[in-house]
Structure 1
Amino acid sequence: MFKEQGLILAALLGLSAFFSMAETSITTLWPWKVRELAEKESDNEGVFKMLRSDVTRFLTTILIGTTVVNIAATALVTEAATAAFGEAGVSAATGVMTVAILLLTEITPKSIAVHNATEVARFVVRPVAWLSLILYPVGRVVTYLSMGMLKLLGLKGRSEPYVTEDELKLMLRGAELSGAIEEEEQDMIENVLEIKDTHVREVMTPLVDVVAIDASATLVDFHTLWVTHQYSRVPVFEQRIDNIVGIAYAMDLLDYVQKGELLESSIVGDMAHKPAYFVPDSMSVWNLLREFRIRKVHMAVVLNEYGGTIGIVTLEDVVEEIVGEIFDENDSKEEIQKKTGYIVMRAEGIYDVDANTSIDQLSEDLNIKMPEGHQYETVSGFVCEAFGYIPRTGETIKLILERGNEDEDSNYNGTESDRADQNEKNQTFKLEILAGNARKVSAVRFERISDDVEIDTNEVTRLVPKIMTRKWKSNGGADRNNHDDISFMEGRDEDEDDSNNFVMAEREDSHDVSNKQ
């Protein structure tokens, strides 16, 4: 009698373990893996095709099977224990079955399924599919009841699993940590995922940095320009640089040379490819890449919402959003710095920053938080907003910025005892303009002021809106517009650019904290 009950119990526990493995393997499999297994099936009615089309049917069958066999096993043991030990057998059966179910039908089989999801799924999916046909009426009733419960709760059931972008990024991070892919590969794939949310204005070359040529210039001038900059494509404008009418290809110069035509008598406007391709600055980089492929062009002119030219964008700019900055042997150090920006640590807490450096890079390296919804992309824009105007070389300002690892609390109105804690969330910087002119800022020094130094609120010459977690309140009602009293440097040409006078000291002890150099 006990032998037969033992065999039945072993069979029930085995079935329970089977269902546990089936449930875990199916829920662990990523949807793209299920799709791959389904595509490999030659039969149109393959089990993985069934799983992909209706995973709820499989899970319902598994749960019904698990519930039935566990109840049956528990009832069998309880009956045998009661017959042998009386009422005390109920407690004994409960303890034994709890341990047995946990170890034999839950923890062990599910651990196996987690580490071998694909292999286990290949083994269990077909039997579960057959069983789902047998239990189809019961399964449909249970499914309808569960769907009704979901509707009552305001939820929607999904018949097909999917992978979200966050889940895919999580997979990539796991693959990188396990060594399956390199960190650079992970970055490239994530860049591809984010490229649809990147706009042309974020990757373009602004008009002030565009190298262009007048349509009335001769090909000798174009050749000279090419020798200087080595650009294969140059925008062609008429009268004003913001009136771009076409693109001149350096390769076309070879045709004129081979034909023996005089470069002095030919003008750029005649060889330019017209019209130029125009795109809005709000266009996504993904759509731009698609248009480049369709139109077979490598350069576009970027327009703002009013139709004004604000820059150019090239295929290389788009590719760099995926693979990172691309340089060749003709790129000088100055051109590389101008393109990528830099942050150089001169001493502890003192950073020399190129104004072209992205604001995200500045936030990361200096551990500061930028306000949400800010309209600037570079350090130059940040500095101009901080001053409230375009500062000149030598001007300084003190700012209180929120640390990057702290939560923003713009409504802070704490007591004096709370202000000490608030100071830990902020840090004070002294900004000094190292290079620039009346039109732009070229280089800035960020000097972190120690928390031990007491800062007179009158010395804080300007506060950046929304960067502060609270505004300083001076007892004397200090004037926050002290920058108006700063006199400009006299006897100086307004358009003179002294950015070239700023030279980074190439010291061996200088620590470059920018990972873009």
Structure 2
Amino acid sequence: MSIAISIVAIFILIVLSAFFNGSETALTAASRARMHALEEDGNSSAALVNRVLSRPEKMIGTVLLGNTLVDVFAAALASNVAVNLYGEVGVAYATGMITILIVIFAAVLPKTYALAYADRVALIVAPPMRGLIYILTPFTKAIEYVVRNLLKLTPGKADDEANILAAHEEIRGTIDLQAKEGTVAKGDAEMLGGILDLGDLQVADIMVHRTKMETVNADDPPAKILDQLMKSQFTRVPIWKEEPENIVGVLHTKDLLLALSRTGWAPETLDIMKSASTPWFVPDTTTLKDQLNQFLKKKTQMALVVDEYGEVQGLITLEDILEEIVGQITDEHDNPDSHIRMQSDGTVNVDGTVAIRDLNRHLDWDLPDDEATTIAGLVIHEAQTIPEPGQVFTFHGYRFEILRKSRNKITAIRIKSLAAATASATGSPPAGATQPKTARG
């Protein structure tokens, strides 16, 4: 191959590399809502964008494979040309030159443009990308098969079922990047992140704990049960017999009022259990994504959560899962949320039962929720003891003061962000570094 042909081939390969990088950025950053609207209007390119994004792991796999191939070929051709011109030292020249060309013209430039005009670029690249995905699918499948079998030879088993070439982290990184740059609003970024988290969270992470469940006793007089339901803010309430953990049904106020109307509005003649529906029990290890699908399939909006021993641990509703995506949902019957109380001195008083995820989302904090679900659970986990009122602990860059305790349950905590306090005192933005863990009684 002549030097001129090799240079033209290198140019073509760099253009292809730019295409792959720009396509990946544009497709992952494109507005799904706008693409859906355009598809509804008959835009065939938007339909292709939605089809490509419906299987993001295939798109990412195609990009990785195609980009690697063209970059390797470009480097090989550049080395061959440089060796013919300058001898063995030409390899060093080729390496430096091809690196600069790929970084500037095949990575930074196309990604920057694609990020700025994501929707426009996505509509342009979707048709050829769809064709490349179809052509390269056998190769990406073969790579995935080889990698999976190699992972089975490793001591650990956690990675054997990993989704090779998955786009989960790629999409999350794109969302975080655009949120930091102001391209995506904070609320939109949180909703997108909430959707990605559905597969990682379990129902136990967001369920209403059994100690906070509102239930009724089936053995109470019907008039008393009716009074409880009328005073409740919920339309569905579990009903129990003999002991609170023995849930035997779920009462819906609409069903109960319908049954009451058939008795001539005489509560004393009402058979409560005939109006109760069969309770639905789900394991506490069920992922939110699976539970959401089950809610939609069964057309039911409440489930009782049980542990491995079959004991009721709490309940979860469709609204609880939706709130992980869109944030707190309230209506005219909801009580004002006073579990998180901002103080004039910059501290925050919270109930011990407040979920760490809710506090992080409410205050834009970054407290870890890997080892505990609630704030009280986090304090107990870090302190390795059940603290007493007045004790103060500092970890993860926050100061925790125990305000109240009932038996072995922490009921109120005062929290202060040390980074925010330092920034307020110095006039500089909060530092991202966490504080060393200390504790004092």
After TM superposition, the score normalised by the length of structure 2 is 0.63
Q: CA deviation at 1:266?
A: 0.7
Report the AA paired with residue 352 of structure 2: A
2:252 aligned with 1:249: yes
Report the AA paired with residue 168 of structure 1: I
Q: CA deviation at 1:235?
A: 0.7
CA deviation vs aligned residue, 1:291-349 (integer Å, no higher than 9, x gap)? 2222222111222222222222211112112211111111222xx22xxx21423426x
The aligned length equals: 361
Q: CA RMSD in A?
A: 5.2
Report the AA paired with residue 16 of structure 2: A
Relative to total residues, which structure has the larger helix share, 1 or 2?
A: 2
1:272 to 270, 276, 285: 276
CA contact (8 A) 1:203 1:313 kept: yes
For 1:342, the equivalent position in structure 2 comes to: 340
CA contact (8 A) 1:21 1:113 kept: no
2:12 to 8, 18, 21: 18
Q: CA deviation at 1:251?
A: 0.4
CA contact (8 A) 1:245 1:276 kept: yes
Q: CA deviation at 1:250?
A: 0.3
* Aligned positions of 1:17-416 closer than 5 A: 17-30=11-24, 33=27, 40=48, 60=69, 63-64=72-73, 67-68=76-77, 71-72=80-81, 109-110=105-106, 113-115=110-112, 162-177=165-180, 179-259=182-262, 260-273=264-277, 275-333=278-336, 336-337=337-338, 341-347=339-345, 351-359=348-356, 374-375=371-372, 377-379=374-376, 382=379, 388=385, 395-397=389-391, 399-404=392-397
Cα distance between partner residues in 1 of 2:374 and 2:60: 47
For 1:420, the equivalent position in structure 2 comes to: none
Cα 1:116/1:162, change in 2 over 3 Å: farther
CA contact (8 A) 1:213 1:234 kept: yes
CA deviation vs aligned residue, 1:128-151 (integer Å, no higher than 9, x gap)? x9xxxxxxxxxxxxxxxxx9xxx9
Cα distance between partner residues in 1 of 2:257 and 2:335: 25
For 1:443, the equivalent position in structure 2 comes to: 412
Cα distance between partner residues in 1 of 2:221 and 2:274: 10
Cα distance between partner residues in 2 of 1:210 and 1:443: 19
Q: CA deviation at 1:169?
A: 0.6
Cα distance between partner residues in 2 of 1:196 and 1:50: 20
Cα 1:235/1:390, change in 2 over 3 Å: farther
Cα distance between partner residues in 2 of 1:287 and 1:388: 35
Cα 1:103/1:293, change in 2 over 3 Å: closer
Q: Give the match's secondary structure for 1:396.
A: coil
Where in structure 1 are there 5+ consecutive unaligned residues? 1-7, 42-48, 79-89, 130-146, 406-426, 450-466, 473-479, 481-517
CA contact (8 A) 2:394 2:439 kept: no
Cα 1:265/1:284, change in 2 over 3 Å: same
Report the AA paired with residue 20 of structure 1: I
Cα distance between partner residues in 2 of 1:213 and 1:205: 16
Report the AA paired with residue 265 of structure 1: T
CA contact (8 A) 1:199 1:284 kept: yes
Cα distance between partner residues in 1 of 2:291 and 2:104: 52
CA contact (8 A) 1:278 1:303 kept: yes
Cα 1:63/1:272, change in 2 over 3 Å: closer
Q: CA deviation at 1:103?
A: 12
Report the AA paired with residue 340 of structure 2: Y
CA deviation vs aligned residue, 1:448-487 (integer Å, no higher than 9, x gap)? 99xxxxxxxxxxxxxxxxx985789xxxxxxx9xxxxxxx
Q: CA deviation at 1:441?
A: 4.0
For 1:142, the equivalent position in structure 2 comes to: none
* Aligned positions of 1:483-502 closer than 5 A: none
